[in-house]
């Protein structure tokens, strides 16, 4: 059985406060985009699982891959779960703020649930997904959501950007999430992203911010340059996504400059 885990972008990202458990309270809008990986799972009678990965390399042992962790998590609760053969083909850049790893984990849970008829509810899948990572629950719902707390409190919202074009640019710089959070200074915003998102999109440039941009742009000027270039080419809104190095631009018409960036950059237009 095959599924195609998609990515997401963050529309605004405010870090509001540091929590006693070491995490941060935040608010953001998660918006799904159709840049996809490919995930296949088959049952096997072998004594061990077989996990293989192609496409973009992942520098982690297969037993520590989030897909493997998803199987291990369900195995603890469903001992009858058989060993599997899993293949993941990666096209979503890693460490890029696009949630590719989180999507892989969440889609693995859903696929195992369906393939082996575990009859888990959506809420149960969300609870399992949260044990894999703060962004994972979003991919169980996989519709535009206002997200709070660690990112796991999700409220679906009525938001469609289907009349716009997206240009996704990643300079192949890996940003460590923990490091990004360690440099952030939490502050309560004057205006919530849930309010800004319903304003005309032309106002987002001034009001809708990603709190990580300031420090990351100082450390990696190439990422800031991408945002500047997107605006120069006519984006109505551009921003870094999440804590990663990906910058996206939202355009009113199809872009013709996807080859404007260096050849080693990941650049893709999403319609």
State how far the Cα of 49 lies from the Cα of 150, in Å rounded to an integer. 32
Per the annotation, the verdict on 21 as an active-site residue is no
Angle between helices 66-77 and 100-115 (to 10 degrees): 40
State how far the Cα of 172 lies from the Cα of 73, in Å rounded to an integer. 31
Which of 37, 47, 61, 135 is labelled catalytic?
A: 135
Cβ neighbours around 183 below 10 Å, total:
12
For residue 181, which of 1, 25, 3, 8 has the smallest C-alpha distance? Answer: 25
Tokens encoding 167 = 């240009």
Which of 8, 37, 211, 227 is labelled catalytic?
A: 8
Strand 237-240: give its sheet, edge to edge.
237-240, 247-251, 165-170, 266-270
State how far the Cα of 243 lies from the Cα of 227, in Å rounded to an integer. 15
For residue 129, which of 146, 111, 155 has the smallest C-alpha distance? Answer: 111
Per the annotation, the verdict on 214 as an active-site residue is no
Catalytic residues: 8, 135
């Amino acid at each position: 059985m095959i599924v195609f885990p998609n990515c997401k972008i963050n529309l605004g990202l405010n870090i509001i406060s540091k929590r006693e458990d070491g995490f941060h309270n935040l608010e953001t809008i998660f918006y799904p985009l159709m840049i996809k990986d490919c995930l296949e799972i088959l049952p096997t009678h072998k004594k061990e699982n077989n996990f293989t990965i192609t496409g973009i390399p992942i520098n982690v042992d297969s037993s520590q891959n989030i897909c493997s962790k998803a199987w291990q998590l369900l195995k603890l609760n469903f001992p009858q779960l058989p060993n599997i053969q899993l293949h993941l083909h990666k096209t979503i850049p890693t460490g890029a703020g696009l949630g590719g790893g989180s999507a892989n984990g969440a889609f693995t849970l859903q696929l195992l649930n369906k393939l082996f008829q575990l009859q888990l509810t959506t809420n149960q899948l969300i609870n399992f997904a949260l044990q894999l990572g703060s962004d994972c629950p979003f991919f169980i719902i996989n519709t535009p959501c206002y997200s709070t707390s660690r990112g796991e409190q999700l409220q679906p919202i009525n938001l469609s950007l289907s009349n716009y074009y997206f240009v996704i640019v990643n300079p192949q710089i890996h940003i460590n999430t923990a490091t990004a959070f360690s440099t952030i200074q939490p502050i309560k915003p004057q205006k919530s992203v849930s309010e800004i998102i319903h304003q005309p999109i032309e106002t987002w440039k001034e009001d809708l911010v990603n709190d990580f941009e300031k420090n990351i742009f100082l450390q990696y000027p190439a990422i800031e340059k991408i945002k500047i270039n997107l605006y120069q080419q006519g984006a109505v809104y551009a921003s870094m996504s999440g804590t990663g190095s990906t910058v996206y631009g939202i355009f009113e018409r199809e872009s013709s400059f996807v080859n404007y960036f260096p050849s080693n950059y990941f650049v893709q237009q999403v319609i």
